[in-house]
Structure 1
Amino acid sequence: MSLLTVTGVRALTPRMTRVTFTGDGLADLGTWPDQQLKLLFPKQGGSAHVSDATDTGTWYQAYLALPEETRPWMRSFTVRALADGVLTVDFVLHGDHGPAARWAATAKPGDVLGRFGPSRDYARPLGTAELLVFAGDETALPAIGSLLEVLPAHQRFLAFVEVADPAEEQDLPGVRWVHRSAGEDLVSAVSAVEVPASVWVWLGGEASTVRLLRRHFVSLGVSREDIEFAGYWRRALTQDDAPTEDDLAEARERIAALTE
């Protein structure tokens, strides 16, 4: 476990803020697209630090052993960039509805968070199909951005990102923006497009939407092993809430896809 110190904060759009960090160990980490990490947000009167392990267990057991009133909130994020020891993370601002958004809304240089990861154990290679399809909402933008940046120049791809309105668009060439303000939705936009037999798919965002899109591509005959998917968040629930039956089913599907 390491600590991160904020070095810069800037608004990308009205609802997304980019924060840069420095910290021990960042310069030694490799770089790959769609890097996942855990960020720890301190509670009032608490710390972002958690010991690496207990005498009998892992860092996560050490985390759970902390008193709940001071145990930092832990949330999963995708690295937007990591270079020369500087980590960049983009935060979606969705009001006072969670510790990460509250923190990001007032973040300033010198603020400190905890970090676990990213670990290369979770790195997944890009597909090699004729067409690559990427689809997600604003929470998936950092991952989609990092994935598009490493595509070979000749690679055909389709990328769909659902955002609130045109003001939330970013400079990502080739992305088809889906605007909720215009009554559009990600599932309808993606389902309306014909894809060839040779396709590899990456899906991220709200869990039920990701499930619907995954089922859509499976129904088209796309092999499950050619679909990478992650439910980043759940409607009306947080990462602190117990998993639902759908969450458990998704976890089983992900494990099956990794072992097939």
Structure 2
Amino acid sequence: MTTAVAAPFRFFSLQVARTRRLGPSLVRVSFAGEDLRHFFSDGYDQSLSLFLPHPGQSEPRVCHELGDGWWQAWRELPDDVRAVMRSYTLRSVRRDALGRTTGIDVDFVLHGVGPGACAPAGPASRWASRATPGDRVVLLGPAIADNRAIRFRAPQDTDLVLLWGDETALPAISSILESLPAGLPVRAWLEVHDAGTVQDLATPADAEITWLVRGERAADGADGAECSPMALGALRDARLPLARRPYVWIAGESGCVKHLRRHFVGERGIDRRRVTFVGYWRQGLTEEQLRERA
């Protein structure tokens, strides 16, 4: 198979190297492949598009020509043939002594997998829960290190970083924390479904990390229009360090993200130009439905 390069992104043909459970609803999948020698990223919240095969397929079906028509060509494939596409965040990258990428990690939240699940699992959760070494995937990712799929852009004069995310933002926040300079004041809030997802997160920054475990409680509003009272309550009650030039990064369910942005801008008075907010998903909609509405 040939892969076409079109800076700043390209397709990568990869295979699963290993998997590791990080908690009841989280699994880390490590990928390898010769194509990764062309993979470059500065990390942070690097976004990736992952193409997965349907059950019974040995590899995902994708048009590998990165021209203007690749998206339409993929969409025109039959539903039971067309590869499942989902967006994920790069968790970590491994390089050899020459700086070439040899492997990457992606963390999957296992929605609807396991006993007691209140909703059916989606295709990506099912795939990740059963992934084994050698399974093949296709990745649309960065061919240059500094690319537009990195959203975390703290200005040079930032004197306080504020982070909030749900489970889907945990890989990005973990990577961001690892990249921050020593001594920089950071306050982070992570809202997760169960206590088994709580992790020790490493950072050289002066970080205070708060885990919010909601259990079976879901965000208010079936359409995602309301935010979790737990999230808003924790942020409103927080006493933040004095700062003249804070930077805010928020990611997760799109309705909640918008509410939290309004809190930071309207209630905290933070310059909206210093607030990055990313809706990773929307309550009640699949990724295909979200893309169709974009």
Q: TM-score, normalised by structure 2?
A: 0.77
Q: Could you say which residue in structure 1 is the equivalent of 2:265? A: 218
Shift of 1:113: 1.2
Task: Identify the residue that residue 235 of structure 1 maps to in structure 2.
Answer: 283
Q: How many residues align?
A: 245
Cα RMSD, aligned residues only: 2.2
Q: Does 1:79 align with 2:101?
A: no
Q: Do the aligned partners of residues 182 and 198 (structure 1) sit closer, same or farther apart at CA in structure 2, a change above 3 Å counting?
A: farther
Distance in 2 of aligned mates of 1:216 and 1:71 = 41
Kept in 2: contact 1:135–1:190 (CA 8 A)? no
TM-score (norm 1): 0.86
Residue of structure 1 in register with 2:60 after alignment: 48
**Further displaced range: 105-114 or 22-31:** 22-31
SS of the residue aligned with 1:10? strand
Mind listing any 5+ residue stretches in structure 2 that lack a counterpart? 1-10, 96-101, 113-119, 203-207, 218-228
Question: Is 1:103 matched with 2:127?
Answer: yes
* Residue of structure 2 in register with 1:66 after alignment: 77
- In 2, the alpha carbon distance for the partners of 1:157 and 1:216 equals 18
Q: Secondary structure at the match of 1:18?
A: strand
- CA shift in 2, pair 1:9/1:243, >3 Å: closer
For residues 230 and 136 of structure 1, what CA distance do their matches in structure 2 show?
A: 10
Q: Which residue of 2 aligns with 1:186?
A: 231
Select between 94-103 and 192-201 the one with higher mean Cα deviation: 192-201
- The answer to whether the aligner puts 1:123 opposite 2:150 as a matched pair is yes
In 1, distance between residues paired with 2:36 and 2:252?
A: 26
- 1-structure distance, mates of 2:35, 2:124: 23
1:113 aligned partner:
137
Secondary structure at the aligned position of 1:213 is classed as helix
Instruction: Using the TM superposition, give the Cα deviation of residue 110 of structure 1 relative to its aligned residue in structure 2, in angstroms.
Output: 0.9
- Aligned-pair identity in percent equals 38
Structure-2 change in CA distance of 1:43 and 1:182 (3 Å) = closer
Q: What corresponds to 2:209 in structure 1?
A: 175
> What is the letter of the counterpart of residue 224 of structure 1?
R
Q: Which position in structure 2 is the counterpart of 1:255?
A: none
1:222-250 deviation per Cα after TM superposition (whole angstroms, max 9, x unaligned):
12221111111111111111569xx76xx
One-letter amino acid of the structure 2 residue matched with residue 52 of structure 1: H
**1:52 Cα offset (Å):** 2.5
Determine if the alignment matches structure 1 residue 27 to structure 2 residue 37: yes
- The unaligned stretches of length 5 or more in structure 1 are 249-260
Higher helix share: 1
Contact 1:53 1:61 in 2 (8 A): no
The one-letter code of the counterpart of 2:279 is G
Cα separation, partners in 2 of 1:73 and 1:86, compared to 1, 3 Å: same
SS of the equivalent of 2:196 reads helix
SS class of match (1:104): helix
